[in-house]
Chain A
């Protein structure tokens, strides 16, 4: 049995995000402001899924 080679050193996960309407394949390319914005994004609850609104 030959010794197993190690692979993937330094290979980063790709994190695809929408930036202003288009996609970007890696957060490394985001400018500082957009990077901060992406980190701040919160999820929007879907609720019942029947289009019912909470009273606003």
Chain B
């Protein structure tokens, strides 16, 4: 006689036959059954069977085994199937809960250096309170979404590593990224949700509010925030600043030379008078008739001596130019500092910011660009390389690419800064896929890149709105190419068939996610939609769903490990053989044409990205090695090669690599990037640096960058290449050095060192460098 049963946690609880009957009844109901009496009779058979084995204290598992056996033996096959499904589902939930608690345990009790999950994203410090809290939330949300939100087939494909659903923790919450039109945002002021900000009136406030726009929007989205024409957008700030400085300096000149009382008011009114009468305003380039009209008024109306008027005017121009330049530099410096220090993203991260600039030839925009580059060159407070924003110099023939172009000096400066600081990256507006529609005077016509590589330009949903601003990626999911290749056993037909199935699966999953995102309302995205940043969101009311306007964004398929896939399929990767090169382009070309076709069918933007893959770099290969063992060139490293890249370990010349990777940029319309690893200090060889950049452009790349080691010893402040020993102060990593030696190295004598100032910091400060490039 069974009186107690043993639960999974080991507790003994009183036995009740109704519980078995109910489980059978529920399973039968799911197949259309409706007979509780029969369920009860069957559970009696279950009890009889267990007792016949002599077991009087069965476990839950033993009872469930018996239920399966009795159901099958008594001809209830469909009910048995339901019961087995139910049972496996329950045990999956239990396993997941255990897994989550294991993850939480690791997050709680292990440091980041022992816990890979805490280092999934290198820009989150997993050792801080907010960093750990962010991971608790993120890991919990991922598991919940995997279990209860995703369709089972999507969840399974993700869990088993056929595909990777990026940012799964945000599945039910928001979209990836946005290219922000701050020009539009600033017009008339905007609100951050906690206060209203007036339209800015000088370059400092323009730069400060640009950072605020990035920070505010960062909390509405999980991906990067970008300002696609930073120089153009901030130019009005320079304009306003120059005007103000001009008026105030003119007043000083007039007061001194002409004995004007209350000269400031007078100058202001004078300026307003010229503006009102002639529509002319003092401008940075001083290339209009403003000064002539102003002189005319001063001499003829106010009867001032001409010589003094001319003198005051030229004094005002000279001073205003200098002060505007200086103020712009300081604004850029503050902008960079701000974006590297404010942990405004979920309390644990600085915003993932990027800005594109370089191809606006107006004098004010040039001043912004120059000073941004100089501030990047100078680095942070102790000369550290700034990590954010990702800056992108937009290269364009006729604007900055050739010596005769108006912004060629800025292109040169950009390369010099990049050779020292790794940023800016370079995007190429002349690439065949970026060039259409480019208009130097229309920022919305210029392609921009976001963060690590995202690109949004064409618009199948609304072909009349192929604009850069107000759009971004909605979500992306990557396909495990090497696994498909391993499973194809060298048969490319099988490879393509399976690839097609995976692409279909990803399309379906992206669309499901889009439906979740789209059913959210304007109030769920208070800044992005509430302040009208997203295209057409300004036409919506707070309670409206965002479904329609989200269609301006992109649904994106990604991939990783083309090199390993090729290796598995034909034994060589695209760095090695022409055969692999052809097949690689065929594979990625096929993925792209599937996306294009889907876009046409659905009237939405399905696009293809060369996935950035930070957290993903090790995930697929770990699973594939477990399944298929170590396959040389395929699963024998800790990572799969990024997107379409030639493997990082493969020796190849820069130019050859560029030639091989170039064609993939044209295929990956949702984003791409190529890198060249340059040896030594590129500052010593800027010509080589430039030849690599030009080669990238010649090979129709869209976005690229040059990597080189940037090391820094925080103790002596040396920046450059450091091996085991700092070339400047001679200390090893983590080693102490005597302060006296340090002082000597840094050109200080201990006797002049006052106690109040820290000579270490002082020595790192650079002279104000606005004169590096004269504009």
- Residues on A lying within 8 angstroms of B by beta carbon are 4-25, 28-34, 36-37, 40-47, 49-54, 56
List residues of chain B with CB within 8 A of the CB of A17: 707, 709-710
Alpha-carbon distance between A23 and B385 when the two chains are bound, in angstroms? 9
Q: Assuming the A-B contacts A21-B673, A31-B617, are A46 and B738 also in contact, with contact meaning beta carbons closer than 8 angstroms in the complex? A: no
Instruction: Return the contact of A32 from the options B638, B733, B740 (Cβ within 8 A).
Output: B638
Docked complex: B698-719 residues within 8 A CB-CB of A: 698, 705, 707, 709-715
Tell me, in angstroms, the Cα distance from A7 to B679 when the chains sit together: 32
Interface residues of B in 674-697 (CB under 8 A from A): 675-679, 685, 687-688, 691-692, 694-695
Contact yes or no, A40 B637, CB < 8 A: yes
**What is B's interface to A at a CB cutoff of 8 Å?**
112-113, 116, 119-120, 122-123, 125, 352, 384-385, 387-388, 390, 422-423, 425, 451-453, 578, 581, 612-615, 617-619, 621, 637-639, 642, 648-657, 659-660, 673, 675-679, 685, 687-688, 691-692, 694-695, 698, 705, 707, 709-715, 722, 726, 731, 733-742
Q: How far is the CB of A2 from chain B (nearest CB, A)?
A: 8
Contact B453 A6 (CB under 8 A): no
Interface majority SS on A: helix, strand, loop or mixed?
Answer: loop
Q: Could you tell me the distance in whole angstroms from the C-beta of B75 to the nearest C-beta in chain A? A: 52
**Other-chain contact of A37, B452, B648, B660 (Cβ < 8 Å):** B648
A6 in contact with B738 (CB, 8 Å)? yes
A33: chain B residues at CB < 8 Å are 617-619, 621, 638-639
In the complex, the answer to whether A42 meets B688 with C-beta atoms within 8 Å is no
Q: Which residues of A contact B642 (CB under 8 A)?
A: 20, 37
**Cα-based distance from A7 to B637 in the complex (angstroms):** 39
A10 to chain B, nearest CB (A): 5
Chain A residue at minimum C-beta to C-beta distance from B732: A13
**Contact of A15 with B709 in the complex, beta carbons under 8 Å:** yes
**What are 7 A-B contacts with C-beta separation under 8 Å?**
A4-B739, A9-B735, A21-B390, A22-B452, A32-B618, A46-B679, A51-B694
Contact B621 A46 (CB under 8 A): no
- In Å, the complex CA distance between A43 and B567 comes to 22
The answer to whether A49 and B687 touch across the interface, beta carbons within 8 angstroms, is yes
Residue on A nearest B679 in the bound complex, by CB: A43
**Residues of A close to B648: CB separation below 8 A:** 37, 40-42
Answer whether A25 and B387 are a contact pair too, CB < 8 Å, given A6-B736, A13-B733, A37-B638.
yes
**A residues less than 8 Å from B122 (CB atoms):** 19, 24, 29-31, 34
Q: Which residues of B are found within 8 Å of A41, using beta-carbon distances?
A: 648-649, 677, 707
A5 to B657, CA, bound (A): 50
Q: How far is the CB of B419 from chain A (nearest CB, A)?
A: 13
Given the known interface contacts A14-B714, A16-B422, A28-B113, the answer about A45 and B654 at a Cβ–Cβ threshold of 8 Å is yes
Kindly identify which residue among B652, B676, B692, B742 contacts A7, using a CB–CB cutoff of 8 Å.
B742
**Chain A residue at minimal CB-CB distance from B713:** A13
Residue in A9, A13, A54 whose Cβ sees the most chain B Cβ within 10 Å: A13
- CB contacts (< 8 Å) of B612 on chain A: these are 20-21
Residues of B within 8 A of A46 (CB): 653-655, 678-679, 685, 688, 691-692
Q: Residue of B at shortest CB range from A24?
A: B122
Given contacts A13-B712, A24-B123, contact A31 B655 (CB under 8 A): no
Bound-state CA distance A42–B655 (Å) is: 14
Q: How far is the CA of A33 from the CA of B583 in the complex (A)?
A: 27
The CA-CA distance from A34 to B710 in the complex, in Å, is 17
Contact at A51–B695, with CB atoms within 8 Å?
yes
What is the distance, in angstroms, from B131's C-beta to the closest C-beta of chain A? 11
Give chain B nearest CB distance to A19 CB in angstroms: 6
Residues in chain B near residue A29, CB distance under 8 A: 112, 119, 122-123, 125
Min C-beta distance of B686 to chain A, whole Å: 11
With contacts A19-B614, A22-B352 taken as known, whether A42 is within 8 angstroms of B677 at the C-beta atoms is yes
Tell whether, in the assembled complex, residue B711 and residue A43 are in contact, meaning their CB atoms are under 8 Å apart: no
User: When chains A and B are docked, how far (Å) is the Cα of A56 from the Cα of B679?
Assistant: 22
Q: In the complex, A49 Cα to B384 Cα: how many Å?
A: 30
A8 to B740, CA, bound (A): 13
Q: Within the assembled complex, what's the spacing in Å between the Cα atoms of A23 and B673?
A: 14
Q: Chain A contacts of B676 at CB under 8 A?
A: 44
Contact B119–A12 (Cβ < 8 Å): no
* Bound CA–CA A31/B119 (angstroms): 5
A6 smallest CB distance to B (angstroms): 4
Within the assembled complex, what's the spacing in Å between the Cα atoms of A54 and B685? 21
Whole-angstrom CA separation of A23 from B36 in the bound complex: 65
* Structural contact, A9 and B734, CB atoms closer than 8 A: yes
> Which of B614, B687, B705 is in CB contact (< 8 Å) with A34?
B614
**A25 contacts across to B, CB distance below 8 A:** 384-385, 387
**Contact indicator B656/A56 (Cβ below 8 Å):** yes
- The reply to whether A56 and B711 form a contact with Cβ atoms under 8 Å apart is no
Is B614 within 8 A of A31, CB to CB?
A: yes
CA distance A49 to B302 in the complex (A): 64
- Chain A residues contacting B685 (CB-CB under 8 Å) are 46
Residues of B within 8 A of A53 (CB): 653, 655-656, 659
Evaluate contact between A20 and B656: CB separation under 8 angstroms: no
Report yes or no: A31 in contact with B615, Cβ–Cβ below 8 A: yes
